[in-house]
Every structure is written in C-alpha cells, then in structure tokens.
C-alpha cells in the first residue's frame, strides 16, 4: 500500500485503511484533502492490478460508475468520481460508517439474540425504497434506464451508525444499453440470493430484485438463509425447488400480515410476486406503521 499511497497523494487522497476485498477489487477508507484544511472521509474502490488490463473487468467497473453516477438517493451509496491512475481504475464513493447486514446478522447470531421483527422490516423497507428509486430512474432525455441490481444480499446493504440504510455495489447491474453479463449464458449474482429467473438463466426485470430482498428479510428474522447450501449448485436448486416454509412456524412472532408479505416476495412465479419495489415498500411500511 505505500506505493499506492504515494500515487494517491498526488490526487489529494490519503488512504487510511482497507475496508473490504472482493474478487475484482479492493475498497479503502480514505480522506479527501482540499484547500483550507478541507478533509472529507470517502471510500475508494480500486480494481485489482492483475484485472486492470482485462477489458471485461474494466467495462464492468466503468459501467457501474456510469450507472450509479446519477443515482442520488438517501438509501443508495453515492458515487462521486471515477478515475484512472497507474493503469488502475478507481471509484470514489460515499463512506458509510457502520456495518453491512451480514456483519449485523452474524453479531446477533453470536450473541444468540433475535433481531426484532419491526427492525428487520424497517431495514428491508429502506432497501425497497432505494430500489423503487433505481428501478424507475430515467436518463436526462427521459428514457427509462430499466435498472436491475441483480446482486441483492446482506453484504451489499450498509447500516450507518446514524441509522441510515444504504444499498451499494451495482457492479453487475443490468440497465438499458449497459450490460456486460449476458443473460441466458451466465448467472449474475450470488447463488443463495438469486431470483428463480436468475437461477434458471432467465431474462430479468426489476421483479428479480424483490425475491432476494425477501430472502434478506427472512435471514434477518431467522438468522440464516434457508436456501444456502455448501454446494453452489444445490443453492441454486434450492432457489428453484425448495418448499417455501410457513415462517410463522419457525418464529412465532411473525404474524399473518408479515407472513403474507414474505410469501408474496418469495413467490417463484414473478407475475404473482410483488410487481414493483414500490408495491413491496408500501406493504412493508403499512405493516410497520
């Protein structure tokens, strides 16, 4: 990292620590420096050096930055800048001081404490609010972008210490005229958080984000993902075939109203599922309030 820091010093970013690593990139916490002792904490997402020369990875990274540049919403992590230095692309994003949902769930599991039902519903409702915005986003000419996130899961939902819930990582998102993971040939997303249409190599629309959002809700409530298997192919088969349980029998304080919301979110026939994130958001908020 010292060599990297030297390079970023020229761009007025002071790298402070590594936040996360993925297959394609590394995310750092950094301080953006400006005139008059200006300092702003940001997150810097950097493509790994070994992948920077691969055109497909560059396209995905640039595509993500282009896609989220105009997604300005309290429940979506904002992107400030896309740059390239030393042959590597980097993205400067809003820094969220807090934890992701995977860490949140794991902490409760370790302490053997159930996440309160109303808190679980509230968290998922905020993600639904961010999705409702992204799914209906148009470009500057008014053309609907048809954005589908395609990677909804606990790791990609951040909870700020201030209480905000923010969706991040649109790296494999599908949008009009911007799609590098060709549907029908590859599966985009994590096996245990796929919609049935993704698991079946199908063409997706916005409804494909609502099934995994239902999975996230049940994982918050149960402390586990009912579709997860040690074998990736089995996880996909579970998404397609595992009988959906009555969740109230697994946790007694899941009442009939919430059961109905979960069952509709986890409906495999997308024509019977919630038809929009706004529709799911409305049901979740009516349940809370």
Interval 181-206 mean pLDDT: 78
Closest CA to 71 of 132, 155, 28, 153: 132
**Ordered DSSP codes for 200-253:** TT----GGGGHHHHHHHHHHHHHSS-TT--SSHHHHHHHHHHSPPP-GGGTSTT
**Of 232, 184, 238, the residue nearest 215 (C-alpha):** 238
pLDDT at 264: 98
Regarding whether 131 and 56 lie in a shared domain, the answer is no
What CATH number did the domain enclosing 243 receive? Answer: 1.10.510.10
Burial class (CB in 10 A: 0-12, 13-18, 19+), 256: exposed
Q: How confident is the model at residue 226 (pLDDT cuts 50, 70, 90)?
A: very high
Residue range 215-224: mean pLDDT, rounded: 98
Question: pLDDT tens for residues 30-44?
Answer: 998 888 889 999 999
**Is 264 found in the same domain as 213?**
yes
Asked if 168 and 283 sit in the same domain, the reply is yes
Last residue of a domain, one of 68, 94, 120: 94
Domain end point (choices 51, 69, 94): 94
User: Do 85 and 193 share a structural domain?
Assistant: no
Is residue 14 located within the same domain as residue 141?
A: no
Residue range of the domain that includes 82: 2-94
pLDDT digits (tens, 9 = 90+) for 7-63: 566 568 888 898 888 767 788 999 988 888 899 999 998 877 777 777 777 777 777
Asked if residue 74 and residue 109 are part of one domain, the reply reads no
Cα dihedral sign, 53-78-219-152: negative
Which residues on neighbouring strands pair with residue 33, listed in sequence order? 39
Same domain as 273, residue 137: yes
- Percent over 90 (pLDDT), the chain: 58
Q: What is the pLDDT of residue 186?
A: 53
What pLDDT digit, counting tens, does each position of 68-113 carry? 888 899 999 998 988 888 778 888 989 999 999 999 999 999 999 9
Look up the CATH number of the domain holding residue 54: 3.30.200.20
**Token pair of 171 as six digits:** 């790296």
pLDDT mean across residues, the chain: 87
Q: What are phi and psi of 146, to 5 degrees?
A: 55, 45
What was the pLDDT predicted at 182?
A: 58
The structural domain count of the chain equals 2
Does residue 104 sit in the same domain as residue 208?
Answer: yes
Residues 32 and 119 in one domain: no
Domain boundary among 74, 94, 114: 94
156 contacts 169 by C-beta, under 8 angstroms = yes
Residue range 196-211: mean pLDDT, rounded: 91
Is the same domain home to 145 and 66?
no
Q: Catalogue the active-site residues.
A: 151
Report pLDDT digits (tens) over 123-182.
999 999 999 999 999 888 888 888 889 899 999 999 999 999 999 987 655 655 444 455
Question: Does residue 168 share a domain with residue 61?
Answer: no
Residues 43 and 80 in one domain: yes
């Amino acid at each position: 990292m010292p060599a990297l820091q030297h390079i970023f010093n020229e761009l007025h970013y002071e790298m402070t620590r590594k936040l996360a690593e993925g297959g394609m990139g590394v995310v750092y916490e950094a301080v953006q420096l400006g005139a008059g002792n200006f300092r702003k904490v940001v997150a810097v997402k950097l493509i790994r050096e070994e992948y920077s020369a691969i055109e497909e990875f560059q396209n995905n990274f640039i595509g993500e930055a282009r896609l989220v540049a105009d997604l300005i919403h309290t429940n979506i992590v904002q992107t400030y800048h896309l740059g390239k230095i030393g042959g590597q692309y980097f993205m400067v994003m809003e820094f969220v001081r807090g934890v992701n949902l995977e860490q949140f769930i794991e902490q409760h599991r370790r302490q053997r404490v159930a996440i309160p039902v109303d808190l679980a519903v509230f968290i998922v409702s905020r993600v639904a609010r961010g999705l409702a915005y992204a799914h209906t986003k148009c470009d500057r000419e008014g053309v609907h972008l048809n954005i589908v996130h395609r990677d909804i899961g606990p790791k990609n939902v951040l909870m700020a210490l201030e209480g905000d819930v923010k969706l991040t990582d649109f790296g494999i998102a599908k949008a009009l005229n911007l799609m590098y993971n060709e549907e029908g040939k590859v599966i985009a997303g994590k096996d245990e958080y796929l919609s049935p249409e993704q698991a079946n190599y199908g063409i997706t629309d916005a409804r494909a984000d609502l099934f995994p959002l239902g999975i996230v809700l049940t994982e918050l409530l149960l402390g586990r993902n009912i579709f997860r298997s040690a074998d990736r192919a089995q996880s996909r088969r579970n998404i397609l075939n595992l009988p959906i349980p009555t969740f109230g029998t697994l946790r007694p304080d899941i009442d009939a109203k919430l059961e109905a919301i979960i069952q509709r979110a986890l409906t495999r026939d997308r024509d019977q599922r919630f038809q929009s994130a706004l529709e799911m958001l409305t049901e979740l908020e009516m349940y809370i309030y």
